[in-house]
Chain A
Amino acid sequence: MTHWIIAPVVLPAMLAPFIVLAARYHIGIQRVFSVAGVLALIAIALGLTLATSDGSVMLYQLGDWAAPFGIVVVGDSLSTMMVLLTAVLALFVLLYAIGSGWDDRGRHFHALFQFQLMGIMGAFLTGDLFNLFVFFEVLLIASYGLMIHAGGNARLRAGVQYVLFNLIGSTLFLFALGALYAETGTLNMADLAERVALIDPEETVGIRITAVLLLLVFAIKAALAPLHFWLPSSYAEAPGPVAALFAIMTKVGAYAIIRVYTMVFHPELEVTAGLHDLWLLPAALISLALGMIGVLAARKLDRLVAFSVIGSMGMVMVAISLFSEASIAAALYYIVHSTLAGAALFLISDLVRHGRGNLRLTAQAPMAGAVPTAALFFLAAIAMAGLPPLSGFLGKLLVLDAAFDTDTMVWVWAVVLTSSLVSILGFARAGSMLFWKARSVTPEEGAPAPDAPPLLSYVAVGGLITLLVAHTVFAGQVHSYTGNLAMRLFAPEAYITTVTTTPGKLSKPKTEEH
């Protein structure tokens, strides 16, 4: 049993209190430790990804207690891929936060950042639904702190809405877990997969309600219409780097849906038949359309980016709700793309705020550092809207291809293609208003010109764009990797047997008394 699989949770969990306790008043030391921690996380995540890339499943039993009784951390190739994505995203977001000075505008940015990473990593690695709830809460508590970092009335008001919405979501999650436990008597995902399959088809009322409740909870996290209302104002009002980190949080919801609905409530199960194609697919198509209409309708750049994130989550959910190997492979490819592109756009909108003081999409005097910002916006917008040659186009193509043989092909193709056109219009309008129309406006006499954003900010955004380009160039390798991964997701026997049959304490009771 290797201990490395729990390292992505333990490392930030140790680093965060260290930063609070030992480096409280020294922003320089905080920065060094935070960056070093994230670099170590990337190294660990790379090692874990390599170790699980052949389909092997890593299991860690806390306190050596065997699976249904003890807490387990499980790393299969899906978990480790998401862990690696989070670690890489965190590095660039952290570099941007340091470069732009956001981390010094309030207290405890780095500690909260590490706690947030701990929650996200834990959510990806846990093999147990109750611990999924606990790690959701860890990442939410840290995100509440990050969301209102640096304060301000507008941010606090958006923070209240964000916290309230998520509290209601957490309550719903607990109701779902209670119902699930009452029905099956376990919350371990591998154990659930075995027990749900044994439920008598005549008595499925409870388990049906549970499956729908869980889907609702994960849909809130994934900002699926009509449960997306928390996202636009909270992402728009959050500090730029924090919003960029939040780009992975919606993917936690998508990950949970993939994990639970391929293993526990898999598509062939009679109990939950119709849940994916009847309910999930229309909701996903609506949120795709809604997000892209929001892109066209937004009057401020931060709202535009937030709506584009809703749209791209809709795209991910369309691919997931088709629930075939090809569509899950496409969804995983698109998740990587959409995380990187969404984060890059949030950082760019912060660059614009830095350069011109506000984000309203009106013609104003040229911003500071307009040329590099415009170039980065151009590339990121191409990626997000799904134009060739960047990875958004390939991802969309893969989703369309996966939908080609299904009954819902007309709907998927119509909505995806139309909403792509709408989002291209929206991004083009925003870009020309921000960067081209500015040429025709003469700056006010005597108005203080803001400084150009620092170099490190550009390095961070450029790094994300470079990753997007790499994601495009190596699309063949990435797609064959996600293809193998999706194949293993639909045959979860290796996962289930590893979790349930690995011996530990209590796996073989000595006597029969109980």
Chain B
Amino acid sequence: MEFLVASAIGVLTAGGIYMVLRLRTFPVILGISLLTYAVNIFLFSSGRLAIGAPPILQKGVETYTDPLPQALVLTAIVISFGMTAVIVMVSLGAFLGSEDDHVDDQPETEERQ
């Protein structure tokens, strides 16, 4: 299981970074989504991986899983979801306004007001 989780984080991060380095907003936003998935899994596994162990104290249970990373990852998911919604709206506004979805500054737009 460790190999599966680690390779999932690695593949998602690599794909995310590749997409972020593209020049158009759509692949960049997809890349950021992949990166946030990767970081969510990473946070989740930062409390060590355990199968079938409860996070809350119960009678007669010996092994527990760490509940804190689950709370952290919940916060991170909410924040990254909200942020992705914001960036989609802002970049949509920028695209509709200028008919151009490049992320970088174009040379001919240097002299704009």
Contacts and interface: CB of A to CB of B under 8 A. Distances in A.
B98 to A, nearest CB: 5
B91 A160 contact: yes
Given A160-B25, A174-B39, A179 B72 contact: no
Contacts of B75: 130, 134
Contact of B97 (A130, A153, A181, A513): A153
A177 B103 contact: no
Contact of B47 (A171, A179, A181): A181
Contacts of A177: 43, 72
Contact of B79 (A137, A178, A514): A137
A301 to B, nearest CB: 13
Given A134-B79, A141-B82, A178-B39, A156 B57 contact: no
A157 B93 CA distance: 9
A181 B69 contact: yes
Contacts of B93: 148, 151, 156
Interface stretch (A37-45, A161-169, A240-248, A452-460): A161-169
A164 B28 contact: yes
Given A156-B94, A174-B39, A358-B113, A164 B103 contact: yes
A206 B87 CA distance: 32
B32 A168 contact: yes
Interface residues of A, number: 32
Interface residues on B, range: 35 or more
B83 A170 contact: yes
A409 interface: no
A182 B68 CA distance: 11
A167 B68 CA distance: 23
Interface string B31-70: 0100110010011011110000000010000000000110
Contacts, number: 96
B72 A160 contact: no
B50 to A, nearest CB: 14
A159 B90 contact: yes
Q: Is the interface of B mostly helix, strand, loop or mixed?
A: helix
A378 interface: no
Contact of B57 (A174, A358, A514): A514
B54 to A, nearest CB: 13
Interface string B94-113: 10011000011100010011
A226 B103 CA distance: 19
A154 B100 CA distance: 12
Q: Specify which of A144, A157, A159 lies most central, judged by the most chain B CB atoms within 10 Å of its CB.
A: A157
A163 to B, nearest CB: 5
Given A157-B94, A160-B94, A174 B43 contact: yes
Q: Specify which of B47, B79, B98 lies most central, judged by the most chain A CB atoms within 10 Å of its CB.
A: B79
A153 B46 CA distance: 42
A220 B105 CA distance: 20
Given A154-B112, A157-B98, A178-B46, A163 B39 contact: no
B48 to A, nearest CB: 8
A175 interface: yes
Contact of A141 (B39, B45, B86): B86
A321 interface: no
B69 to A, nearest CB: 7
Nearest to B66: A185
A233 interface: yes
A393 B78 CA distance: 46
B42 A178 contact: yes
A194 to B, nearest CB: 18
A163 B42 contact: no
B14 interface: no
A152 B113 CA distance: 11
Q: Specify which of A151, A160, A164, A168 lies most central, judged by the most chain B CB atoms within 10 Å of its CB.
A: A160
A208 to B, nearest CB: 17
Contact of B90 (A154, A163, A168, A182): A163
Contacts of A152: 97
B24 to A, nearest CB: 11
Q: Specify which of A148, A156, A358 lies most central, judged by the most chain B CB atoms within 10 Å of its CB.
A: A156
Nearest to A233: B105
18 contacts: A148-B93, A151-B93, A152-B97, A153-B97, A156-B90, A157-B98, A160-B90, A163-B90, A164-B29, A164-B32, A167-B87, A168-B35, A170-B79, A171-B35, A177-B43, A177-B72, A181-B46, A182-B45
Interface of A: 130, 134, 137, 141, 144, 148, 151-154, 156-157, 159-161, 163-164, 167-168, 170-171, 174-175, 177-179, 181-182, 233, 358, 513-514
